[in-house]
């Protein structure tokens, strides 16, 4: 039987074509996708598509839509061998990270892709991104998916979704995965990186979809000269339960007494503080320098080499699962879906 792939169009640049009458860009009907990309007809793949009624700009992406995507995959999981989600690039890494946590025991590819130029533009990068994403989503070896995880395909590179961040708004190569190798590179052929993709453990484990996400988090990015009032305002935000603390280098922060006192007070109130480096590559090593040893002593949780996008999604996921503060700390400290080393 031919492998089957479901295309899910949420919105974004890739789904736009030029209206010949008004010369403006508009979303095209993905049920007629082969009219726009006739090359797909040569694939020995059964393609189906579903589109959001109103395409969403990725700047408006939110956890409600993540839940909608997760349920859509759950509903169609037995019918298709793989899924391709067409998504705006700006928040694609957030969505990929969130779905990786929400789709437990995933054994099929969920590939997010998009483009920097609309499909209706002659120089678009969307056509190649979409064609290769579909091929990856349908690829099997001995009846098993080659990449059974949530990933991002963009400009000849396949990345683990929760290891990826957007680093360039102008170049076709918009994404990077600094702390984890690419899962595959597309050239004349698609070369998959040996042992990089997730391995499905055990047999017969059912897909478990988590839809409880808690957005009661905030972000504090440190900078030289940050004031006590600024830090206090964020830590005293009403209802906050967790904080992504973006620190310098390998997890370093100010040792000023007022700063440490504010963190200690927040932790004593049950607020989880997740230490994530501002650097695009490297990791947090709490205790390597005195400027991070004090954070460790206070009870700040190390995010090791997690990306900012994955840290945000993971906190929402962990808070959504509930449990004691100790249980949530334990979940933050260890990799759940390959998001950290």
Catalytic residues: 13
CA 246/CA 309 separation, integer angstroms: 12
SS3 at position 326: helix
CA 164/CA 180 separation, integer angstroms: 9
CA 194/CA 235 separation, integer angstroms: 44
CA dihedral 228, 233, 239, 242 (to 10 degrees): -50
The structure tokens listed for 67 are 């839940």
Residue 163 contacts residue 307 (beta carbons within 8 Å): yes
- Closest C-alpha to 157, from 145, 168, 173: 173
Burial class of residue 196 in the structure, from the number of CB atoms within 10 Å of its CB (0-12 exposed, 13-18 middle, 19+ buried):
middle
In degrees and rounded to multiples of 5, residue 110 shows phi and psi of: -125, 105
The β-bridge partners of 259 are none
């Amino acid at each position: 039987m031919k492998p089957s792939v479901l295309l899910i169009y949420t919105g974004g640049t890739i789904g736009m074509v030029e209206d010949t009458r008004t010369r403006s860009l508009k979303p095209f009907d993905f049920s007629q996708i082969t009219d726009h990309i006739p090359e797909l007809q040569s694939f020995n793949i059964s393609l189906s598509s579903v589109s959001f009624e109103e395409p969403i700009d990725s700047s408006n992406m939110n956890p409600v839509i993540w839940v909608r995507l997760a349920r859509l995959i759950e509903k169609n999981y037995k019918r298709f061998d793989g899924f391709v989600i067409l998504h705006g690039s700006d928040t694609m890494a957030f969505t990929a990270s969130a779905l990786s946590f929400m789709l437990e025991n995933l054994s099929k590819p969920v590939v997010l892709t998009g483009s920097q130029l609309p499909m209706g533009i002659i120089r678009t990068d969307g056509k190649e991104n979409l064609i290769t994403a579909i091929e990856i989503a349908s690829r099997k070896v001995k009846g098993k998916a080659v990449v059974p995880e949530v990933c991002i395909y963009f400009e000849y590179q396949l990345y683990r979704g929760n290891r990826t961040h957007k680093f360039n708004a102008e170049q076709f190569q918009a994404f990077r995965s600094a702390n984890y190798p690419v899962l595959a590179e597309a050239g004349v052929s698609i070369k998959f990186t040996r042992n990089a993709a997730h391995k499905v453990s055990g047999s017969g484990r059912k897909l478990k979809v988590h839809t409880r996400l808690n957005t009661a988090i905030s972000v504090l990015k440190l900078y030289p000269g940050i004031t006590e009032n600024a830090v206090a305002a964020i830590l005293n935000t009403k209802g906050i339960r967790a904080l992504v603390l973006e620190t310098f280098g390998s997890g370093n922060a100010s040792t000023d007494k007022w700063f440490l006192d504010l963190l200690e007070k927040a932790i004593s109130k049950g607020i989880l503080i997740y230490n994530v480096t501002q650097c695009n590559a490297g990791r947090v090593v709490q205790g390597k320098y005195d400027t991070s040893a004090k954070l460790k002593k206070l009870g700040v949780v190390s995010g090791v080499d997690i990306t900012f996008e994955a840290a945000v999604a993971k906190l929402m996921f962990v808070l959504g699962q509930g449990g004691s503060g100790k249980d949530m700390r334990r979940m933050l400290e260890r990799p759940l879906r390959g998001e950290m080393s």
